Chains A and B, each alone.
Chain A
């Protein structure tokens, strides 16, 4: 039970909003000490895993210079203006379409998109542009909500398409696990059983996007109503 101390440290640290990097290190140190490691050994573990997992950070580091450059020359503005030309477009529909593209492409083994490469420069500005085209200027909190949903569209599309492709991490990991315990489990049946959940995830995203569009419409109606009452 004492091994769970790290989980407690993390929960308490996040709840009290201490600096997350420090909370994570403290949790690792507490867990390591409870498991009988020395401080030096714990630092060794941190160093080893930190270097092994540089691949998590590298894409962001390599992508932001070109994205920043293109933003300086108006990429976000272009994405926003581009979407204003389309008639039936809403913020929710932009995001739902992105989720679908992401799910289908990753199910076919192609990982395109990402928060730095697609959401910030293209998808979030498009969703904001669509919302502005329909409802005029948005209050800041609605802009923030639209952006948060853009990040959600990326995550949902990414997570719930991936397991359908047999040659990626998840399915191979499951196969490896079953082999280690001596069970023969077919990779194709594992991949195909990912499809119902992929459809459910798309349905859940559809529902969220519709709610997003409705709340945008509601807020827009309220602000224009207030302006009308204010009168000239």
Chain B
């Protein structure tokens, strides 16, 4: 048994989203008042009732959210944040104390990750050890909120207003990572990976040891670009290319192949809009005009690291 589960935090998050939707519905100046309110309310429902609703109902709710977003009914409010002069005045007063709540999030995450999974009373665990990172991060966010409210003496409606403003800056892209994960699941069910692995393996002369390495690394990166997730690529590409060619045919070291191959996959993650939580959501969060700006900044880095990985694997995998 576990005392603190993620379900509790999903409910807190869902409640916050529902309040946000209500705020939007009351805002007569919001240019996309009803569409936006409906979108965030639907998301709130999936957080509050996620496990209780039959998956097929959630599926149709998600479809409704996608349709609202595609019909351009989800938008940002007209209300502006505070002015720079106001913020500077507060900053003069609060100074370094402003950093404490912000640092409380990583500090709690750190302490929680190290300690929380060790606490148990007989068979009753405080936290599920598998969820400890997420629980610690969520706890950190809530503790920081308390500390922030104490420090600024802001009314409790202020974090709701500011959180709502930031979430609407991200907009519908916020749920893109969840939806892409779902697409990845459907790809996996349909066996898309096996097709990609077969294509790469048959297109290249893998009887050469170097080509086998190149095919494996390219397969990892390409399939990660398609799926948005190197973990999904790993089993498919290692099973389809890595094991048969590098390990069995050429006698390569599986540990080196796996470690370096996974990191070649991460180069794909740096390049793909499918990895929305790393590449698209941050572009929205940082208010970048080009939603591919983060990917463009990362592309040269990814290319360098990818080449380094191919060379590293080629020099080491058959030698150690």
A interface with B by C-beta (< 8 Å): 1, 3-4, 6-7, 10, 14, 18-22, 24-25, 27-28, 31-32, 34-35, 37, 40, 42-78, 81-82, 109-113, 115-122, 124, 144-145, 147-152, 154-156, 158-160, 163, 169-171, 173-174, 177-178, 181, 183, 185-186, 189-194, 196-197, 200-201, 203-205, 207-208
Contacts and interface: CB of A to CB of B under 8 A. Distances in A.
B190 A3 contact: yes
Interface residues of B, number: 144
B310 to A, nearest CB: 11
B286 A170 contact: no
Contacts of A62: 9, 12-13, 16, 137-138, 141-142
Nearest to A63: B141
A142 B81 CA distance: 23
Contact of A68 (B47, B109, B159): B159
Given A46-B63, A50-B58, A28 B186 contact: yes
Contacts of B178: 49-50, 53-54, 56-57
A147 B293 CA distance: 9
Nearest to B287: A147
A83 to B, nearest CB: 12
A22 to B, nearest CB: 4
Contact of B235 (A44, A71, A177): A177
B269 A159 contact: yes
Interface-centre pick from B58, B98, B109, B300 (highest chain A CB count, 10 A): B98
A85 B148 CA distance: 25
B126 interface: no
Interface in B151-167: 151-152, 154, 158-163, 165-167
A189 B255 contact: yes
Contact of B182 (A49, A63, A191): A49
B183 A48 contact: no
B95 interface: yes
Contacts of A124: 286
B138 to A, nearest CB: 5
Contacts of A207: 304
A169 B290 CA distance: 31
Contacts of A10: 183, 226, 274
B152 to A, nearest CB: 5
B149 A205 contact: no
B289 to A, nearest CB: 6
Interface string B77-120: 00001101001111110111011011001100110011000000
A76 B166 CA distance: 14
Q: Which secondary structure dominates where chain A touches chain B?
A: helix
Contacts of B187: 6, 31
A136 B128 CA distance: 50
Contacts of B300: 204, 208
A117 B177 CA distance: 17
Interface in B1-54: 6, 9-10, 12-13, 16-17, 46-47, 50-51, 53-54
A115 B231 contact: no
Nearest to A115: B282
Contacts of A117: 102, 105-106, 141
A66 to B, nearest CB: 4
Given A46-B59, A46-B182, A66-B105, 18 more contacts: A3-B192, A21-B175, A24-B182, A25-B66, A43-B56, A46-B63, A47-B56, A53-B178, A53-B182, A58-B47, A58-B138, A61-B47, A61-B163, A124-B286, A185-B254, A197-B305, A200-B304, A201-B305
A49 B239 CA distance: 24
Given A4-B195, A197-B305, A160 B263 contact: yes
A181 B238 CA distance: 11
A68 to B, nearest CB: 3
Given A43-B59, A66-B101, A173 B231 contact: yes
A6 B98 CA distance: 47
A57 B305 contact: no
